[in-house]
Chain A
Amino acid sequence: DAKTTQPPSMDCAEGRAANLPCNHSTISGNEYVYWYRQIHSQGPQYIIHGLKNNETNEMASLIITEDRKSSTLILPHATLRDTAVYYCIVSWSGGYQKVTFGIGTKLQVIP
């Protein structure tokens, strides 16, 4: 019952920007967009989150469309260590956090 849609897989050349799209057309006004990733056999790792505005941190940038129905996670210079499954999640801000992970996008960074 994930509220997001992501492509199942993507490839990216090492050193290039990886742009991972996510559709969340039913998002409500008080829901955050979160991105996590899971490198093989490890626990999920938080990347970034946002509500309305674009966000940037040391790992990535998050671009949210004006209507908030979709977003893009940008890894500016992908490395082989960025190969992972990337999860886009929406989570209600008004109460207890209950993160629901979907299938995610398997990003393969190619040398």
Chain B
Amino acid sequence: DTAVSQTPKYLVTQMGNDKSIKCEQNLGHDTMYWYKQDSKKFLKIMFSYNNKELIINETVPNRFSPKSPDKAHLNLHINSLELGDSAVYFCASSQGQLSSYEQYFGPGTRLTVT
């Protein structure tokens, strides 16, 4: 069983389009995250949700809108895609929101904007 899953794995789209990435975890965790890994391989946190509530928003353009319908799902919707949005996006989850809990990452979604 996959602990943290993401769909799609690859996403190729044109500038200006709107796209969504879905994330699901079956670990029973109540905290979920979105990270962006750029071409230089830096992995930066974007958002964190705890029990469907947004707790971290790391100065991400408001074209990015996370949505958590329940605590097992955290989706990422991106409006008006730009070339600079091309990256690998990782979803993660942890048992709690404190630093005493390790994070479990999904396999990533490679987004290419042309």
Q: Which of A42, A46, A95, A98 contacts B102 (CB 8 A)?
A: A46
- Known A-B contacts A85-B41, A96-B56, A98-B45; A32 and B106 likewise in contact (beta carbons under 8 Å): no
Smallest CB separation, A24 vs chain B (Å) = 14
| A49 contact set on B, CB distance < 8 A | 102
Counting CB contacts under 8 A, is B104 at the interface?
yes
Distance of A10 Cα from B36 Cα, bound (Å):
25
Binds B, one of A12-20, A63-71, A99-107: A99-107
Smallest CB separation, B21 vs chain A (Å) = 13
Residue of B nearest to A97 (CB): B99
Chain A interface residue count, CB cutoff 8 Å, equals 26
- B1-53, CB < 8 A from A: 4, 31, 35, 41-45, 48, 50
| B106 contact set on A, CB distance < 8 A | 43
Residue of A nearest to B31 (CB): A97
- Known A-B contacts A97-B98, A98-B45, A101-B44; A46 and B56 likewise in contact (beta carbons under 8 Å): no
Is A97 a contact partner of B48 (Cβ separation < 8 A)?
yes
Counting CB contacts under 8 A, is A108 at the interface?
no
Q: Which of B42, B90, B97, B98 contacts A43 (CB 8 A)?
A: B90
Distance of A103 Cα from B40 Cα, bound (Å):
9
Is B43 a contact partner of A44 (Cβ separation < 8 A)?
yes
Is B104 a contact partner of A46 (Cβ separation < 8 A)?
yes
Interface flags, A73-92, vs B, CB<8A=1, else 0: 00000000000010100011
Is B107 a contact partner of A43 (Cβ separation < 8 A)?
yes
Q: Which of B4, B98, B100 contacts A96 (CB 8 A)?
A: B98
Is B103 a contact partner of A103 (Cβ separation < 8 A)?
no
| B50 contact set on A, CB distance < 8 A | 96
Counting CB contacts under 8 A, is A93 at the interface?
yes
21 contacts between A and B (CB under 8 A): A36-B103, A38-B43, A42-B107, A43-B4, A43-B108, A44-B43, A44-B92, A44-B103, A44-B105, A45-B105, A46-B102, A49-B102, A96-B48, A96-B50, A96-B55, A97-B99, A98-B48, A98-B58, A99-B103, A101-B42, A102-B42
